[in-house]
């Protein structure tokens, strides 16, 4: 499982002209599922992200988690995080999980984030999405489990 985590002032996801997710301060999480990922991987990733201290405290040091600042999250399924560009100029996605595995794991990840105390919304699996991100910092973290 791979994630690109962006600390945001605001974020939203639009599908076919309608807003399907929208937050203020928090995280936009671009989440890729690999073929060997499972519920345990999703739990570990959600736990790590919910406790990741990447928000500024009163001394302007990254010392607070999303839960500490009362933030929310948006999870966007992103199979392109598994792109293989070693050969040629067209990426291969053979290392990404099949939709039958990935879709339920993304949903489970969202539920675990909620169980960990982070209000979490999501985009639509497999849809063409317009993801709006007002990156704060900018702070962008890449994480793999």
- Contact in structure between 37 and 105 (CB atoms under 8 Å): yes
Instruction: Look at residue 42 in the predicted model and tell me its pLDDT.
Output: 98
pLDDT band at 79; cut points 50, 70, 90: very high
User: What class, spelled out in words, does domain 2-134 have in CATH?
Assistant: alpha beta
- Catalytic residue positions, numbered: 78-80
State pTM to two decimals.
0.95
Instruction: Look at residue 118 in the predicted model and tell me its pLDDT.
Output: 98
Structure tokens at 57: 């405290």
Taking CA atoms, 10 is separated from 13, 41, 67, 81, 112, in Å, by 11, 27, 16, 22, 22
Where exactly are the structural domains of the chain? 2-134
pLDDT tens string 31-78: 999 999 999 999 999 999 999 999 999 999 999 999 999 999 999 999
């Amino acid at each position: 499982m791979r994630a690109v985590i962006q600390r945001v002032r605001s974020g939203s996801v639009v599908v076919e002209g309608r807003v399907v997710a929208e937050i203020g301060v928090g995280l936009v999480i671009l989440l890729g599922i690999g073929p060997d990922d499972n519920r345990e991987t999703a739990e570990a990733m959600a736990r790590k992200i919910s406790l990741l201290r990447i928000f500024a405290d009163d001394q302007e040091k990254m010392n607070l988690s999303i839960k500490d600042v009362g933030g929310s999250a948006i999870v966007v399924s992103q199979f392109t995080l598994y792109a293989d560009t070693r050969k040629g100029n067209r990426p291969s996605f053979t290392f990404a999980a099949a939709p039958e595995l990935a879709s339920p794991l993304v949903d489970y990840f969202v539920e675990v984030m909620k169980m960990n105390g982070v209000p979490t919304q999501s985009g639509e699996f497999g849809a063409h999405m317009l993801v709006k991100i007002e990156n704060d910092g900018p702070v962008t973290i890449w994480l793999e489990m």
